[in-house]
Amino acid sequence: MKVLSVNCGSSSLKFQLYEMPEEKALISGVFERIGMKESFYTIKINGEKIKTETDLPNHKVAFEFLIKELKENKIVKSLDEIKGIGHRVVQGGSYFDKTVVVDEDVIAKIDELSSLAPLHNPAAITGIRAAQEVVPNATQTVVFDTAFHQTMEEENYLYAVPYEWYTDYKVRRYGAHGTSHKYVALRANQILGRNNTKLITCHIGNGASISAVKNGECINTSMGLTPNAGLIMGSRCGDIDATIVPYIMEKTKMSPKEVDTALNKKSGLLGISGVSSDSRDVEDGINKGNKRCALAQKMYVRRIIDYIAKYYVELEGCDAIIFTAGVGENSIGTRREVMDGLKVLGVIADPEANNVRGKETLITTKDSKIPCYIIPTDEELMIARDTYLLAK
């Protein structure tokens, strides 16, 4: 069965087509600058990348080009071969704790939650509608970033604010990156050979979050009502004193929207370093003697260590720490600094094993009390797995 995994942004569409249940990736690609000038798409097949510049006025046209490429590359002969299309949706709120088949009620709830993910949920609906038009016979599903975190208890997902904010306005911790945390936790359990595990999964990218996972279920996670909570990220501040917001508004006369933009797009590594939101640029700055880059990196690593330590206590121990996503998979230095900061927990890094990028491997010594692994994430495959089960 052929299953398509789709991730729509406001002006983009990423996809990967799988043969299921073999989990064989057949073709992947990304459509960029949809609805804008100089739009284009890139297809990756048989290890080769092919870029095509073309007019992409909307997501439906992007889907039509997608199908055209599948046919021209002889991946499918007809649309009926695509039995399922799984869509990534960032915010599912309290409504969804698992992947579901799309219907009008599901779409209405995704739309209702758009205020919690204004850049993502509306784009996902656009993608779903486009896919329904272009591939009408496929089973359409939605896979929520927040679903994996719905196993948290009230004491972990509620904020100590007036309770009516929760009942009336849905203010609570939802988390994000759930599909990634779930994937690497499942893979870690396979490596460890058991399911009764205590794991700390670290999705460290431009956006970043850490989860405490016990026996395959999330018990706590660092992101909150929105993705701007927990860790210091590329351009997001993460945890701050909430009173900073009204204080800065009073001092600068900034609007709520302007402050929100500053905290989400001008803070984090970018805000402290003054150089870039990209971890690689910050590391380059450190090598050139830039003190603000060095400070940004110290703060960045310290917050990661803090959350791992917090979840170690909450889990009452830890069977493995997992590094994944862009920085987690590829930054040798950041992983080393985090592991060195966890020596008090008995973590002993293996410098030679850690000297890799994007490869699944154990990066601590045999004497380490907690093994640390790199496990490259595969959110597209998780989407395909869930969609296959529902389409089947």
Measured CA to CA, the distance from residue 300 to residue 278 in angstroms comes to 12
- Look at residue 15 and give its three-state secondary structure: strand
**266 vs 277: CA distance, rounded Å:** 8
DSSP 346-377: T--B-HHHHS-SS--EE-B-TT-SS-EEE---
Taking residue 58's Cβ as centre, other Cβ atoms within 10 Å add up to: 12
- Which residue type occupies 307? Y
Strand partners, 142: 87, 100
Hey, is 25 helix, strand or coil? Answer: strand
Q: Which of 111, 145, 239, 350 is catalytic?
A: 145
Q: Is 260 an active-site residue?
A: no
Helix (H) or strand (E) holding 7: strand 2-8
Output Rg (C-alpha) for the chain, integer angstroms.
Answer: 21
Positions marked catalytic: 145
